Amino acid sequence: MKVLGIESSCDETAASVWADGEILSNVIASQAVHEQFGGVVPELASRAHHKTIWKTTSQALEESGVKIEEIDAIAVAQGPGLMGSLLVGLSFAKGLALTYKKPLIGINHIDAHLYANFIEHEETYPFVGLIVSGGHTRLVYVDKAFNHELLGDTRDDAAGEAFDKIGKLLGLPYPAGPEVDKLAKEGDPKFHDFPRSMINKGLDFSFSGLKTSVLYYTQEKGDEFVQNHLNDICASVSAAITDVLVAKLKRAVKKKKVKHVMLAGGVSANSMLRKKMSQFAEDQNLNLMIPALQYCTDNAAMIAVTGALKARVGDFDDLSLKPFARVS
């Protein structure tokens, strides 16, 4: 089975080839145009995808040593994401499928973050998965491939969104989330006790209150204080977010009585979260699956491996496949 994966849901144009159980290539073209605006501009993102998608896909095929004629199926991110960006990738994938007479597979971008773990980890069920990204923070129970039970979801700001917005508030460059993590490594997580919203309640997540708390705190302390203690503030913010994530995961694991847990999404690259998750898994004797760093953020390898999982059971789509901006 050889699957070409294409990802264009936000501001990364990516292509990857999965063949016979391994990733042979994983090419990502990032868009620097958004830095000056401090966030992704949808129109600029879709234009950038138009310019790079053919080159990115060609490079992925070349690096893999697999010709497009040898591909068995084409998997493409169908959503959620920016509609303009998704349309570029979906239209391109449809064109390839039609030209080369290849089956087409639409992929849920959030599902793909989960199954990115199976690039390097053995496929294992059942598990509880924590998906943490810029737009989503959710807990799911999975007893077999694509059979998901939603346990908890984001009520307002997702964890990644909170990291980015708080980082921007602190004057950090876009994307701010990784910068917060970098600075937090040199800071004291106990410097200030920011609120852990809903940490003792249910399995849903809420981080908008944390963002407001940081805003009021920095306004009260002033710019000079913030700059002098930037590492400590970032560490305290990271501690507040990761404490909630781990507490909710613990509750979900206890509820579903699983021995396998999974971390996925862009924020799974956060060093403090990875450390706390590893400690939790060790303490509870759990099998923890976390993607390698290159498979945490948006990439096409996760699209390709998810496509391979769907292809093995004959779950294909036709050319009427449509993008979607949000998941229900």
CA angle 289, 209, 153 (to 5 degrees): 40
**Residue 135 is assigned to a ligand binding site:** yes
**Residue 327 is assigned to a ligand binding site:** no
**Residue 113 is assigned to a ligand binding site:** yes
Alpha-carbon distances of 66 from 1, 95, 281, rounded to whole Å: 12, 19, 39
Q: Give Cβ neighbours of residue 193 (< 8 Å, ≥ 6 apart).
A: 236
**Residue 298 is assigned to a ligand binding site:** yes
**Residue 160 is assigned to a ligand binding site:** no
Beta strand 22-30 with 73-79 is: unpaired
* Spatial separation of the C-alpha atoms in residues 252 and 130, rounded to whole Å: 10
Residue linked to tokens 């789509």? 317
Give the residue from 3, 4, 101, 10 showing the smallest Cα distance to 56. 4
* Spatial separation of the C-alpha atoms in residues 246 and 286, rounded to whole Å: 14
Helical axes 230-256 vs 176-184, angle rounded to 10°? 100
**Residue 270 is assigned to a ligand binding site:** yes
Residue 76: beta bridge partners?
6, 106
- CB burial of residue 155 (10 Å; 0-12, 13-18, 19+): middle
**Residue 177 is assigned to a ligand binding site:** yes
**Residue 134 is assigned to a ligand binding site:** yes
Dihedral angle sign, alpha carbons of residues 128, 132, 138, 143: negative
Looking at 76-207, list the stretches that DSSP marks H as alpha helix, in order from N- to C-terminal side.
83-100, 109-115, 159-169, 176-184
Contact criterion met (CB below 8 Å) for 219 and 211: no
Hey, what are 119's tokens?
A: 């690039």
- Please state the residue numbers annotated as binding site for Fe cation: 109, 113, 298
- Please state the residue numbers annotated as binding site for substrate: 131-135, 164, 177, 181, 270
- Please state the residue numbers annotated as binding site: 109, 113, 131-135, 164, 177, 181, 270, 298
